[in-house]
C-alpha cells in the first residue's frame, strides 16, 4: 500500500474552487445564500484546523480525563444544538428526556463498541474514542431531531384521535402507539437507507479516510461494517428512549393530554 499523499496548504486552497462554483450558481439563480456559504466554509475551516491541533496533542498524551472531557463537550453541544433547533417548542420535561436519551443511548453503545467489539487498549485511547464517539453522537443527534419533529407533529395533528382513545379508556401508551411507531420509523429510516447504498453507490467517510491513509481495504471494510451497526444501534436506542419517556411529557398525572 502506498502512503497517503500529503496535501499542502496551497492544494487545500485550490479546493475552494468548489465553493466559488456554488457561489456563482446561487448568484446566477438569485438565491440569497452567498453570506451563509462563505461563513460556513470559513467557520468549518477554522474549526477543523483548531480541532486538528488539539487532537495532535490529545493523541500524543492520552489521558482519561481529557478523553472524558471531550466526550462530555460532544454530548453537551449535541444537546444544545437540538434545543436550539426546537427553540420554544420543547417543554422542560421533554428537554430532560433529550438529555437522558442522548447520554444513555450514545454512551452505552460507544462503550460496548470500543470495549467489547474493538477492545481498545488503554480503554480511554482517544485515537479511537474521539472519532467513533463523534460518529455515534452526530448520527444520534440527527435521529433525535427527526424523532422530536415527528413526535410533536404527530401529537399536534392527531390530538383528536389521541383524546378520543383516552375517552374510550385507552392508556396514554396505547393512545400514542401509532404515533410512536411512525416516529421511530421516520427517525431511523435515513440510517437504514444509507446502509443500503454503501459499497455500491458510495464509499462512506470512515472507510474512505482509512483507505486514503494506507489501510488495507479489507480492514477498512471490517471497521465500516462494525461502525455502521454501532451507529444503527445508537440511533435506535437514543430514539426509542426519547419516545418511551417523551410521550409522557404530553400528559399530566391524571393521564390527560396537555394543550399541544
Between CA 6 and CA 245 the distance in angstroms is 48
Q: CB of 241 within 8 A of CB of 104?
A: yes
Between CA 195 and CA 232 the distance in angstroms is 9
- Any residues with CB less than 8 A from the CB of 109 and at least 6 apart, and which? 136, 230, 233, 234, 237
Q: How does pLDDT run across 135-181, given as a tens digit for each residue? A: 999 999 999 999 999 999 999 999 999 989 988 888 999 999 999 99
- Helical packing angle, 205-212 and 217-246, nearest 10°: 150
pTM score of the predicted model = 0.86
Q: How does pLDDT run across 57-75, given as a tens digit for each residue? A: 999 999 999 999 999 999 9
Between CA 31 and CA 37 the distance in angstroms is 11
Q: CB of 92 within 8 A of CB of 155?
A: no
Q: CB of 104 within 8 A of CB of 221?
A: no
How much is the pLDDT for 224?
87
Q: How does pLDDT run across 199-252, given as a tens digit for each residue? A: 776 667 767 777 777 778 888 888 888 999 999 999 999 999 999 999 999 998
How much is the pLDDT for 209?
73
How much is the pLDDT for 88?
86
Q: How does pLDDT run across 180-204, given as a tens digit for each residue? A: 999 999 999 999 988 887 777 666 7
Q: How does pLDDT run across 5-53, given as a tens digit for each residue? A: 777 888 889 999 999 999 999 999 999 999 999 999 999 999 999 999 9
Other CB atoms within 10 A of residue 109 CB = 25
Between CA 200 and CA 198 the distance in angstroms is 6
How much is the pLDDT for 260?
55
Between CA 257 and CA 252 the distance in angstroms is 7
Alpha-carbon 50 to chain mean position = 21
How much is the pLDDT for 2?
57
- Residue position matching grid coordinates 435515513: 190
What is the pLDDT averaged over residues 124-129? 92
* Beta-strand runs (E) in the chain: none
Amino acid at each position: 500500500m502506498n502512503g497517503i499523499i500529503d496535501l499542502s496548504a496551497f492544494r487545500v486552497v485550490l479546493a475552494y474552487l468548489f465553493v466559488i462554483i456554488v457561489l456563482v450558481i446561487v448568484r446566477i439563480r438569485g438565491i440569497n445564500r452567498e453570506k451563509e456559504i462563505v461563513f460556513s466554509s470559513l467557520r468549518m475551516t477554522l474549526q477543523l484546523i483548531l480541532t486538528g491541533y488539539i487532537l495532535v496533542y490529545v493523541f500524543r498524551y492520552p489521558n482519561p480525563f481529557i478523553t472524558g472531557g471531550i466526550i462530555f463537550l460532544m454530548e453537551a453541544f449535541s444537546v444544545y444544538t437540538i434545543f436550539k433547533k426546537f427553540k420554544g417548542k420543547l417543554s422542560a420535561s421533554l428537554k430532560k428526556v433529550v438529555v437522558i436519551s442522548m447520554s444513555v443511548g450514545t454512551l452505552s453503545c460507544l462503550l460496548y463498541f470500543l470495549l467489547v467489539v474493538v477492545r481498545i487498549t488503554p480503554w480511554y485511547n482517544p485515537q479511537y474514542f474521539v472519532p467513533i464517539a463523534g460518529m455515534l453522537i452526530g448520527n444520534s443527534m440527527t435521529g433525535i431531531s427527526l424523532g422530536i419533529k415527528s413526535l410533536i407533529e404527530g401529537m399536534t395533528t392527531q390530538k383528536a384521535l389521541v383524546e378520543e382513545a383516552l375517552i374510550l379508556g385507552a392508556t396514554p401508551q396505547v393512545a400514542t402507539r401509532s404515533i410512536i411507531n411512525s416516529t421511530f420509523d421516520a427517525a431511523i429510516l435515513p440510517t437504514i437507507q444509507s446502509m443500503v447504498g454503501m459499497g455500491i453507490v458510495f464509499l462512506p467517510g470512515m472507510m474512505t479516510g482509512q483507505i486514503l491513509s494506507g489501510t488495507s481495504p479489507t480492514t477498512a471494510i471490517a471497521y465500516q461494517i462494525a461502525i455502521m451497526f454501532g451507529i444503527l444501534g445508537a440511533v435506535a436506542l437514543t430514539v426509542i428512549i426519547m419516545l418511551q419517556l417523551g410521550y409522557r411529557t404530553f400528559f399530566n398525572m391524571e393521564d390527560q393530554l396537555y394543550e399541544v
